[in-house]
Structures are given as C-alpha cells and as structure tokens.
C-alpha cells in the first residue's frame, strides 16, 4: 500500500479519466466514506499522544486489513512511521504504547464503532437482488445470527473456553442476508451463551435465523414481543403439542415439506416462557432424514420457511471471509476491547467494499483492491471488475424472473 494511487500500474500510464478518479481518491476512497460518521465517534482521552484519536485508530485497523504484508501490531505501528502513509491516511506517527492504550475500554469503548457500522450499513442497498426478490414476501429483515471462535493465546486469561491452555474469544455476529454484510457484533469469552447474547441485542423488524443452539422459549417470546420474528431449527428432544395441521400446497410438497403445523412448544410449564403458539415446518433432507423448523412467520409458504433457514449458511461463509481473508484468525491485541475493535473494523471494511463495488465482498475483489492500494492495479481495473460482478448479479436476477 506504499505506492500512490495516482501512480497507476507498472506497465502503462494512467488515462486522463483514471487520473481524475484517482485524484478524487487521494487519502483513499474507503476512508473518505467514513468521515461523515466518524465525527460521531468519541475522541480518546488525553494520553501520552494527544494527537491520537478514535478516527486514527479505526483508520489504522482498516489500513491493516488492506495490507496482507502487515501481520502484527508491531508491523502496523512500524508502517505508521512512513511519511507517505501518514499523509494519505491522515494519521500521526504512533507508538506501540498508544495502540495498547487505545485498546483499553477505559479510553475508547469498541461499542462506539457499532454506530459507525450501522450508519454505513444504512447506505448500502441489496448486494444480491436475486435474494431480495426471493425473500420479498418476508416483511422483516433476514438476519442470520451465530457465533464464531477466535483462537487466543493461553495468557489471555479473560478468553475462557475449554481450559487454561485452550483459550478463545467468541464473536457473535448478526448478518443481513440480502445486503451480504455483518450489521452487529458482540465479543465475549469463548464459553459464553449465544442465546443470552442474542437476547440482549435483538431489535424490532428483524427475522432472526438461528440454529439449534439458540433454542430458548423465553428468547422466542422476547423476539415476538419486540415485533420481530425467527426461524430456528429444533432438536429432536423438543416436545411439541400439535394445535392445527395446515394444508401443504403442491409446490411446497415438491420442495420437500413433510408437514406444516401450528403447535405449542414444550410441556405445560413452557407456557410461562412462551405464551404464543408457533409454527413447525418439517422438511425432508437429501440424506433421507428430516429437520423441524420452528418459526413465528405464519403467513408465508412452508417451502419459503425452508429457504429462509437455508440462507443461514451465509453467516458461516462470512465467518470464513473474516478469518481467512481479512485475517481475524490472528488477533493483534490481547485485550478484549482491542479484539472487539479489530472485529468491528473487519465488519466495517466489508461494508466499505460492498458500498464501493455494489456487490457482495469476495476474495478476488478484495485482492484487487489490495493491489490497487499497493500501486499494482489502477482504479479502472477495480471499476471494471466491480462492473463485471454487478452485471453477473443482474443476469442471475433476470434468469430467475
């Protein structure tokens, strides 16, 4: 990323149009997108370096994500010594002590970045029009929710998981299926309850898509009370009392729907936790087995319930993106707030890619953007690749209609 954006590729000079576009990107377009919302992020308290602010800390993390050559906090700190990096990113020279101090929750709470993330997600339209059309009958925002473990070193005593030698943090991520980005996150020790974390962060107007680990009658009731909905796979041991057998249309039967029932979940005592009847859709799987999906969505086709649950896999793919592409398998801070800062910055980086390209982030596009920042590709190269992805998405949408 040391090369200037205005230098172009190594094989040919930039065109006039390319030069004009590159001038607009001076300081990097990704970071300029942040300026309207970063003003809402509180500045760091005065410390050893009074010039180091929250905006600088976030910018440094984004700089780290788009530079595969930087693999540690020390490498990031060393890169900020370069005058060209300071000029383009508009950040001052920084010490390791400043990074360490900024990772402390006393100084800069990572949750402040949640507002930045929400602002950016609000500017983003659907990155997959095909999915938007497919799930158009669902009035709530499809939100796949799950947790992923981030391996920690044994000396990170707060990251409780299996034992003293096997430590891990857990990032609980809410992922908007149609927009293709993470929209909320909470970091906890690895042995924490995913159900309890979600219960504290649910919002109105969302359809939460979760796996068996989230089965909780009180959680289901809380989601319904807040005027949201859920689709959750049930385990074999969950008792149901059938209230009504619903008719299965032929199109749903062909899609593998075996039964569609209105039920009361659990035994007699469960009424205290879950007052409402819910719907259980049983769907045959390719391996000859079946799965039961509980949902509060009563007015959509049974096969669409199965399609909604199938979209939960997108959050697993997103975890692979965070770990394998953005490098969150390597934690550059050992403090919980510092790890949360890193994960939030990764979510923000993903949204920025989607905002610029108008498509779901992928590995090839990420690599090309890194090449652009390092001077090995022109802005025109990136625009061409983004246009090709957008055209491909439009073709898929046209075929589906």
45 pLDDT more than 50: no
Instruction: Choose between 184 and 394: higher pLDDT.
Output: 184
Work out the end-to-end distance of the chain between its first and last CA atoms, rounded to an integer number of angstroms: 42
Average pLDDT estimate for 218-233? 96
Q: d(Cα 283, Cα 348) in Å, to the nearest integer?
A: 36
Percent of the residues in the chain that have a pLDDT greater than 90, as a whole number: 42
Instruction: Choose between 316 and 371: higher pLDDT.
Output: 316
Q: How confident is the model at residue 6 (pLDDT cuts 50, 70, 90)?
A: very low
Average pLDDT estimate for 95-119? 79
Instruction: Choose between 230 and 56: higher pLDDT.
Output: 230
Tell me how crowded residue 334 is: count the other CB atoms within 10 A of its CB: 17
Q: How confident is the model at residue 401 (pLDDT cuts 50, 70, 90)?
A: low
Average pLDDT estimate for 246-254? 94
Determine if residue 173 is left, alpha or beta; phi over 0 gives left, psi from -120 to 50 gives alpha, anything else beta: beta
Q: How confident is the model at residue 116 (pLDDT cuts 50, 70, 90)?
A: confident
304 pLDDT more than 90: yes
Tell me how crowded residue 45 is: count the other CB atoms within 10 A of its CB: 11
Residue 360: per-residue pLDDT: 77
Q: d(Cα 48, Cα 97) in Å, to the nearest integer?
A: 8
Q: How confident is the model at residue 271 (pLDDT cuts 50, 70, 90)?
A: confident
Nearest to 204 by CA among 141, 264, 247: 141
Q: d(Cα 98, Cα 52) in Å, to the nearest integer?
A: 8
Instruction: Choose between 268 and 169: higher pLDDT.
Output: 169
12 pLDDT more than 70: no
Mean pLDDT rounded to a whole number for the chain: 82
Residue 365: per-residue pLDDT: 80
63 pLDDT more than 80: yes
103 pLDDT more than 60: yes
Average pLDDT estimate for 133-144? 93
54 pLDDT more than 80: no
Residue 285: per-residue pLDDT: 87
Phi, psi of 204 (to 5 degrees): -70, 150
Q: d(Cα 1, Cα 80) in Å, to the nearest integer?
A: 12
Nearest to 232 by CA among 254, 209, 251: 209
Instruction: Choose between 23 and 192: higher pLDDT.
Output: 192
Average pLDDT estimate for 76-101? 82
Residue 205: per-residue pLDDT: 96
């Amino acid at each position: 990323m040391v090369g200037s954006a205005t230098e172009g590729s190594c094989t040919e000079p930039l065109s006039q149009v390319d030069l004009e576009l590159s001038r607009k990107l001076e300081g990097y377009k990704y970071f300029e997108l942040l300026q309207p919302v970063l003003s809402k992020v509180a500045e760091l308290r005065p410390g050893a370096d009074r010039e180091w602010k929250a905006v600088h800390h976030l910018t440094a993390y984004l700089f780290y994500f788009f530079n595969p050559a930087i693999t540690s906090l020390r490498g990031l700190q060393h890169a900020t010594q370069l005058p060209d990096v300071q000029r383009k990113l508009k950040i001052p020279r920084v010490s390791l002590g400043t990074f360490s101090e900024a990772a402390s929750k006393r100084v800069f709470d990572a949750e402040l970045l949640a507002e930045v993330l929400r602002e950016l997600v609000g500017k983003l339209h659907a990155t997959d029009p095909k999915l938007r059309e497919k799930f158009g009958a669902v009035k709530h925002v499809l939100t796949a929710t799950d947790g992923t473990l981030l391996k920690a070193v044994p000396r990170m005593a707060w990251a409780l998981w299996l034992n003293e030698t096997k430590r891990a943090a857990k990032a609980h991520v809410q992922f908007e299926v149609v927009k293709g980005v993470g929209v909320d996150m909470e970091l906890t020790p690895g042995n924490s309850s995913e159900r309890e974390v979600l219960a504290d962060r649910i919002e109105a107007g969302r359809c939460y898509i979760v796996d068996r680990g989230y089965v909780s009658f009180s959680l289901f009731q809380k989601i319904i009370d807040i005027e949201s909905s859920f689709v959750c796979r049930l385990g074999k041991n969950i008792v149901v009392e059938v209230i009504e057998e619903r008719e299965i249309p032929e199109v749903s039967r062909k899609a593998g729907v075996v039964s569609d029932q209105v039920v009361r979940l659990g035994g007699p005592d469960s009424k205290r936790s879950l007052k409402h009847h819910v719907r259980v859709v049983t769907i045959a799987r390719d391996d000859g087995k079946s799965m039961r999906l509980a949902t509060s969505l009563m007015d959509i086709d049974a096969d669409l319930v199965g399609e909604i649950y199938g979209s939960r896999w997108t959050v697993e793919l997103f975890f692979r993106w965070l770990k394998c592409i953005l490098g969150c398998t390597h934690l550059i801070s050992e403090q919980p707030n510092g790890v949360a800062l890193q994960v939030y910055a990764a979510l923000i980086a993903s949204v920025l890619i989607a905002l610029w390209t108008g498509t779901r982030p992928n590995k090839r596009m990420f690599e090309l953007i890194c090449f652009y920042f390092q001077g090995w590709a022109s802005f025109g190269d990136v625009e061409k690749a983004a246009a090709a992805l957008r055209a491909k998405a439009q073709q898929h949408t046209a075929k589906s209609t």
